[in-house]
Amino acid sequence: MLLKNKVIFLTGGTEGIGLECAKVYSAAGARLSIITNNEASIELAKAKLPKSEILFINADVSVAADMQQAITETVDHFGSLDVIHNNAGISNPSKAIHETTAEEWDKVFDINVKGIFNTTRFGIDELRKTKGNILNTSSLVGEIGQEIHAAYSATKGAVNALTKSMALDYAPYGIRVNAVAPAGVWTPMLRSWSQQQPDPLTIENYLDGIHALGYCPEGDVVADACLFLVSEQARFITGCILPVSGGAELGYRSVINPLNQLNQS
């Protein structure tokens, strides 16, 4: 029970990586406040999660008033706040920068980056009381870039820099700030992105191939890493951008790996 009685404010927690995090956090004893602006996804998540110790709030991370109210409602309901996990995010648009509209640019930054700004400024006083921590869901593309995904990559680069700066700012209060950086993970968002690519039929093989471990995983592998980072087992880790990437960042690989052939024979 690594998170027994800890109160976690989890944005984007009704599907994808967020839902997998909700499962492992709950199993570890946490009490959850799950934030989403997708009302329909709440009912789907309820069917997959425990019936108690979870508060669902319909709110938009990009709207300051929504986050202020959500933090207040969480603390009123549970009495405290130990962790903010900024997981909510969008991947659109899948375009080069010259094809991206101002509206698309603003929306992806409002959710992926401004969302962290909003939850932090309204939640930081509560985290000071508990010496809690903040976890941001980033992406490997924030370090290495990605073809025809400029705006999204820029937001994740911002999340990485923000994570490190926040870690320095809040260390004097005993508050840790970290991020996880997956490569490919099979989520509804990734499947939507896949259909926007020039050749969607090749995407599954492509995503398997970019990971040194040979496959594109489900969200549970990221959730397990998140559980570690928000728990006391990571009590001396802050400012870390943890790759959960199956080695995707390690460098070029040959198209035909003889060890893979050996394993398959």
Q: Say how far residue 89 (Cα) sits from the centre of its chain.
A: 7
164 CB-near residues (< 8 Å, 6+ apart) = 239, 241
Q: In this structure, what token pair is assigned to residue 113?
A: 């980056």
- Determine the straight-line distance between the first and last CA of the chain, rounded to whole angstroms: 42
Helix (H, G, I), strand (E, B) or coil at 260: helix
Both structure tokens of 254: 């040959």
SS3 content of the chain, % helix, strand, coil (to 5): 50, 15, 35
Is residue 215 flagged as an active site residue?
no
Q: Which amino acid is at 77?
A: H
For the four alpha carbons of 4, 85, 180 and 24, in that order, the dihedral sign comes to positive
251 close to 45: Cβ distance less than 8 angstroms: no
Helices (H), 93-200: 102-112, 114-130, 141-144, 150-170, 188-195
CB 127, CB 133: distance < 8 Å? yes
Of 25, 152, 170, 173, catalytic: 152
Q: How far apart are CA 216 and CA 207, in angstroms?
A: 6
Give catalytic residues, as residue numbers: 152
